[in-house]
Structures are given as C-alpha cells and as structure tokens.
A and B are shown apart, each in its own frame.
Chain A
Amino acid sequence: MQLTGKSKAALIIGLLPAFLIYTVFAIYPIIQSFYYSFMEWDGFSEMEFIGLQNFENLFQDSLFWNSVGNNIFVVIASVFGQIPIALFIALLLNRKIKGLKIFRTIGFLPVVLSTVVISLTWSLIYNTKDGMINEILRAVGLDFLAQNWLGDTKWSMVAVCITVIWQFVGLYLIIFLAALQNIPEEVKEAAKIDGASEWMTTWKITIPMIWDTIIVAIILCISGSLRTFDLIYVMTHGGPSHSTDVMALYMFNETFSNLKYGYGSAISVFIFFFSLLLIGFVKKILGQKFI
C-alpha cells in the first residue's frame, strides 16, 4: 500500500488512541518510577529527596541480590527448559498424525489456565505429606526420593521452575508450530531428493529456517521470566526463608508491605535496566552468530 500524505494523517490519527493509552499507562509510570527512586517516601507523608541513597542501599541489600540470583535461575531454567522442550514437541507434531488438534490443545491448555489455579494445583502436587509426587514415589518404594518440595530451601526453587516451564511450554509450542508450517514443502522435498536424512533435514533446513522465530521465543521467554511474580506469589510467597524470592516479588513486598515506595521504585528502575541490558546482550550474541 502506498502512503500518500493524506493517508499518513489517517495513520497517525489511527495510532493516536493506542499511543495515548500507552503513554499514560506505560511510559509515564516508568518516568514516574525514576523520579520516585530518588526519594524517600512511605506513600503518605511528604517525599524527601535523598539522591542516590536508595541505590546505594540496594547494592548492599543481600536479600535483593538473593532475589536477583533466584531470578536469573528462573531465566536460565525457562530458556533451557521451555524452548528445547517446546521445539522438540513442535517438531514431533509437525507431521500428518491423527489427532494433531487434540495434542495441540493439550499442549496449549496450561497457557490458558489462570496462574492462580496452576499454582494451587501444583502446590497440592508438591505437598510433602499427601502430594501426588511423594505418594507415587512412596507407592513404588522410592521413599528416600520423597522431598518436602516447596518447604525445603534446597528444592523449592527447582520445584517452582518446573511449574514455570510446564506453564509456558504450550505457548512456545504454538509459536514454533506456526513457524514450522510456514516452511515451504519444496525445500524439504528438495532435501529429500538430495538424499538428506530426517535428522539432517531438521538440523540443516528446518531449524535454520525458523531461527528468527526461535530468537523471538527466547527473548519473549527471558522477558517473561524476568517479571515472574504471580506464580511464585501464590505458590510460596517467596519463602521459605526467601529461597524463592524473585525481583518483582521483592519489589512488591518492599513497596507495598514495608511501605518503602522510594526504595521499591529504585528496585523497579534496576529491573528495567537489568532487563534491557540482558535482552540487548542476548540479542547481540544470538543475532550475530546465526543470521
């Protein structure tokens, strides 16, 4: 479509409402957060300008770094859990099999479910006394493997990550399936004629052809895991003993439970830059090597 001067105006008018909403509800609050992060403020009384004091405290706050560490754990677990599993299942499903739709629906189901439902259900599964996992382990005589999954600091983070992976595999599965179906048949046929095995076709043709999609999925995955909040909030509330605290949860607790709005804003600002840098970094390494 050619854009003449007139339709450009229409375009701007068309974008305006969305842009306004976005400015008011996304850009403005971010700027506001920057402003608050230089203040000491409990939300009620007068704000007091304290310069970089909040950030200074932040860098010395071991509980905060604990939450950053846990968050990185979630990011790594998600990227190396969700993406390969989703890709593997997508490759399996990308052929003419009976009941493809059913498999697709099953895979996507966790994405549609409310996080609260997922968290509560998994809490029951993980329960140390009569949770499904421990019951099964005990039933087959593997009692020594039964753990207090969410109540033991050694296992709580692993248990939470498994749930996170389970919840979002479906999302990437659908994205990958869509990308796979866009690969032209001719290319694959040509490979077949040249005598390439299924394995070769997958690695040399299929994966490179959807590489762009994989990168997008990885970035979505990282940014998604960086703001994990709801699932952990419901499942463990960051506990026991801060072992599953993540950045967003720590920010929420500091801001709204401890009434440190300025400090909370400083954490948000940190999360903002941290996410930006991490994603920029990942984009750089993935982007340069392969495309």
Chain B
Amino acid sequence: MKKLGILVVGLLLLFLTACGGGEEKSSGEGKVTELTVWNDWTENRPEYKVYKDIIAQFNEENKDSIHVKIESIPHDQYETKLRTQAAGKQLPDMFRVWPGARIQPLVEGKVLLPLNEILDTWEGKIPEGILKDYAVDGKQYAIPANISETSLIYYHKDAVKKAGFEDFPKTYDELKDLIKALNDQKVTPIALGNKSIWPLQSVYISTIADRFTGSEFLPNTLSGKGSFTDENFVKALSVIEDLAKLKAFNEDFNTIDEAQSRTIFNSGKAAMHFAGSWAIGPILEGVENIDNIGVAPFPSFGGEGDTAKISGAAGGGIALNAELSGKKKEAALKFLEYFYDDELYQGLAKSNIVVPVQVEMDDSIPEIYKTANGFAQGGLAPVYDATLTPELTDMINNGLQSITIGEKTPKQLAEEMQKENEKGKK
C-alpha cells in the first residue's frame, strides 16, 4: 500500500511538472526568436500556399535569428477561438484578423499592437481608403493582403442566353424576368447556401442595401443619425422577400452551407450564384468550361446609391499581440514588412485573389478574375457584418432567414434592428 501511495504521488508530481513546464519554454530568450502566427489557412487553396511559402522563405533567410511557426485553425472556428483566447489573455504573437467592426473589440480590449511606426513602408502603395479598414482612431493594426469583394454574380452564360438574355440583366426588374424565365425552364435560378446564415447578409444585403440607401447610411445609422426603419433600408430587405417568393433559390437553401451551394452552381444545376471574390478560385477549379462562366456586378435597384459600387473590405491582415516587446517585437515588425511585399501580392494575384496594390496582369490570368478585379475600381461599399456590432449582425442574419420562410416581415426586422441599435447607444 505504501508503495502504491508513493507511486501515485510520484505520478502526480510528474503530471503537475509536465503541465507547468510548457509555459516556460516559449518565453525563454533563446538565440532564435520564435514567433507563432495563427491563421485559418487550413484548406488546400493556392493563396494559402502563397502565404505559407513566403513564411517558409522568411524562415530560411533568417534562420539564425527568427523562426515563424504557423498554426492553422479551421475558418468557422477561428474567430471564436481567437476571441476566447483573447478573453483569457492567451493570444499568440501574431494572428490573422478581419477589418472594421471585427477588430473593434480586440482594439478596445487593448490586445493589439499599433503598427504606425512601420506604416511608411506601404505609403503610396496601398490606397489610404483600403488601409483604413484596419485602422481604428488613427492607429493601424494590420496591413491588408487582399480585397474581399463580397457581392458578385457568377453565371453560366449559356443558361442565361437560353432564358432569352443576350447580356446579363442590368436592372432589378430584368433580373426578376430572368429568374422567372429560368424557373419556367426548370433551371434553379440562383444557388444559395444560407444554413450558416451569413450569405444573405454579407453577400446580398451589403450591396443591395447600398444601392438603395447609399454608403453613408450605415455609418450614420450606427452613430444615431439615421434609423434602420428608413424606407430605403426596408425596401432592400424586401428584395430578399421578393426573391424567396419568386422561388429564385434552390429549395434547400436554408439547409446547405455556402460551399455546398457553389457545388450546385459548378455542376450547372443552377444558372447563377451570388458570392464574393473568394468564390473565383473554387469556381475556376470546379466548372468544366471556364469560358462559359461570366461575372457581373449587382444590378441597379433604382435607389439612391452609386451603382458602380460593390461591397467589399480589406482582408488578410495579421495583427500583433500588444504584449510583444524587445527582440520579439522587432522580429515581428520585420516579418510584417517582409510578408506584405510585392512577392505576396503577385502570388495572390496569380491565385486569383483581388489585391489592394497594382500588379501586372498577363494573358494567363482568367477573364472572370480580371473582370472582378476591375469592379473594385468603382469604389467599395461597407460590408454589413464588417460594420455592424456582433449583436446586430446576429439579428440581421437570423432575421433574413426568417424573412425567406415568411416568419418575419422586412419591416419587423428593420424595427427590431433599430431597437437594438438604440439600446447599444445608451
């Protein structure tokens, strides 16, 4: 019995020391400064390879002084994990962040390190308007690697032609005619996967609402100078109701996710797919005949907004932990300067990612990428979930889903949102 006791105590000690040991190592001052970077580069996408290759190259060039370790977390869990770790003050040295409202809480929690001291590096290279997506109160917290346009219409040229349209509809009324014509031919008009409830908001409403209300509406409303019950905003929400009533979507749109809906589009079962620039790669890879795929901006809805605009935001930024100091901070800043450089942007452009800097394009670059890249020139409208508070985002996401199945009217949702908006002000 005594022996057993000693054994147990021994094991216990071993367990406790093993637990305690892990923490020490990472902060130890070795010769090589190790930095951990968190990201969501888990899928097998060409742009992720570009990111990883550049990091590998950086490690190779600085192998005596700095080593950057990559830790990838699946996209859907990434932000939850980041926020949870941030709440526990256990963030890694560097981590991928999203712009606008999504870095706001991190900034307020003072867990991010401002990058203003190295900002000169990108002066004149990345337009001010795009850089500011990652800035809060004049302080820059990350450098954008790409622009994510959230509202593009991909379509099968032959299907649209068969429905009687030589060119893709330019107005909403024409689009509705196209949807009706496609339905008559028993082709699913639009492939949508809204189980994860963000597509109708991020892809659809961001641009549709902008067409109705203009880009000033959203920031104004959030700061209390406007209201979500604005007639134009309600009209924008009604578009979703219209589309659902027209049976514009595949029947199972509330039970499949965004990637699944892309498969429906790629297979040709649906004529259109509304998605962001992130879909370019998967579509190019998934369809048989690329030449048959067209990309168009959202039509005009006859509202007050600028029809050349498309909703979009900067992306791909990596932020630094506010607790970095001394050697580690130096190494991290050096890494950022190395990372966000021509090689990255060129690599990304080759992977069909819309980038914030001018890059040369040769003929090998597919048409739909060039077209999509061109849309960004018309100016970017705010993306709803990059601008709204998390509560409002959750509300509009769920509300739009309710609208599609007739459980809520656009007006009700607008009123609810305004109530929440006013509550947040107090």
Contact A13 B5 (CB under 8 A): yes
How many angstroms between the C-alpha atoms of A269 and B317 in the bound complex?
37
A223 nearest CB across to chain B (Å): 25
Contact A256 B401 (CB under 8 A): no
Number of A-B residue pairs having CB atoms within 8 Å of each other in the complex:
107
Contact A148 B251 (CB under 8 A): yes
Residues of chain B within 8 A (CB-CB) of A236 are 195, 255
A258 interfacial contact with B, CB 8 Å: yes
A16 interfacial contact with B, CB 8 Å: yes
- Mark A33-54 against chain B: 1 for CB-CB distance below 8 A, else 0: 0000000001111000000000
Query: Are A123 and B394 also in contact (CB < 8 A) when A45-B109, A153-B405, A237-B197 are?
Result: no
A2 nearest CB across to chain B (Å): 13
Contact B12 A16 (CB under 8 A): yes
Contact B390 A259 (CB under 8 A): yes
Interface size of B by CB at 8 A reads 40
B15 interfacial contact with A, CB 8 Å: yes
How many angstroms between the C-alpha atoms of A256 and B86 in the bound complex?
11
Contact B407 A127 (CB under 8 A): no
Q: Chain A interface mostly helix, strand, loop or mixed?
A: loop
B393 nearest CB across to chain A (Å): 8
List 10 tightest A-B contacts by C-beta distance, closest first: A44-B109, A43-B87, A241-B402, A150-B255, A151-B254, A241-B407, A240-B254, A256-B80, A258-B390, A151-B255
A147 nearest CB across to chain B (Å): 11
Binding site for A on B (CB under 8 A): 1-2, 4-5, 8-9, 11-12, 15, 80, 83-84, 86-87, 105-106, 108-111, 195-197, 250-256, 390-391, 394, 398, 401-402, 404-405, 407-408
Contact A127 B195 (CB under 8 A): no
How many angstroms between the C-alpha atoms of A20 and B12 in the bound complex?
10
Within 8 A of B (CB), among A1-60: 6-7, 9-10, 13-14, 16-17, 20, 42-45
Residues of chain B within 8 A (CB-CB) of A9 are 5
- Mark A249-272 against chain B: 1 for CB-CB distance below 8 A, else 0: 000010011111100000000000
A126 interfacial contact with B, CB 8 Å: yes
Binding site for B on A (CB under 8 A): 6-7, 9-10, 13-14, 16-17, 20, 42-45, 123, 126-129, 148, 150-153, 236-237, 239-242, 253, 256-261
Query: Are A239 and B195 also in contact (CB < 8 A) when A123-B255, A150-B254, A257-B390 are?
Result: yes
How many angstroms between the C-alpha atoms of A124 and B221 in the bound complex?
41
Contact B5 A10 (CB under 8 A): yes
Contact B254 A239 (CB under 8 A): yes
Residues of chain A within 8 A (CB-CB) of B408 are 241
Provide 7 A-B residue pairs closer than 8 Å at the C-beta atoms, listed in order of the A residue. Answer: A16-B12, A44-B111, A128-B251, A129-B252, A151-B405, A237-B197, A259-B105
Residues of chain B within 8 A (CB-CB) of A43 are 83-84, 86-87, 105, 109
A133 nearest CB across to chain B (Å): 13
> Which residue of A has the minimal Cβ distance to B9?
A13
A3 nearest CB across to chain B (Å): 11
Residues of chain B within 8 A (CB-CB) of A237 are 195-197
B212 nearest CB across to chain A (Å): 24
Contact B86 A44 (CB under 8 A): yes
How many angstroms between the C-alpha atoms of A288 and B407 in the bound complex?
45
Contact B1 A253 (CB under 8 A): no
Query: Are A126 and B255 also in contact (CB < 8 A) when A6-B1, A253-B394 are?
Result: yes
Residues of chain B within 8 A (CB-CB) of A10 are 1-2, 4-5, 8
